[in-house]
Amino acid sequence: MRKPLNPRFQLPDERDMTGARVDDLPVPVSKLVPVDETTGRRLNRPHGRRLVVIAAAIAVVLVYLKTATEYSIGSVTKPAPGSYPFVSGVILLVGLVLMAFDRRREPERQLVETIPITVALRVRRLVRPVVLVGACLAYILLLRYVGDTTAAAGLGFVILIAFGEAIWRAIPLAIGIAFLAHYLFVVLLGVPLGKGSTLW
- Kindly indicate which of the ranges 11-19, 36-44, 111-119, 172-180 contains the residues binding other proteins, using the contact rule CB under 8 A: 172-180
- Which of 33, 35, 117, 160 touches other proteins by CB under 8 A? 160
Residue 105 CB, nearest distance to other proteins (Å)?
Answer: 10
- Is residue 147 a contact residue for other proteins (CB under 8 A)? no
- Is residue 78 a contact residue for other proteins (CB under 8 A)? yes
- Is residue 56 a contact residue for other proteins (CB under 8 A)? no
- Kindly indicate which of the ranges 11-19, 21-29, 34-42, 110-118 contains the residues binding other proteins, using the contact rule CB under 8 A: 21-29
- Is residue 35 a contact residue for other proteins (CB under 8 A)? no
Evaluate whether 181 touches 148 at the Cβ level (below 8 Å): yes
- Is residue 102 a contact residue for other proteins (CB under 8 A)? yes
- Which of 14, 34, 79, 115 touches other proteins by CB under 8 A? 79
Residue 138 CB, nearest distance to other proteins (Å)?
Answer: 11
- Is residue 73 a contact residue for other proteins (CB under 8 A)? no
- Is residue 108 a contact residue for other proteins (CB under 8 A)? no
- In angstroms, the CA 179 to CA 187 distance is 10
- Which of 14, 115, 164, 175 touches other proteins by CB under 8 A? 164
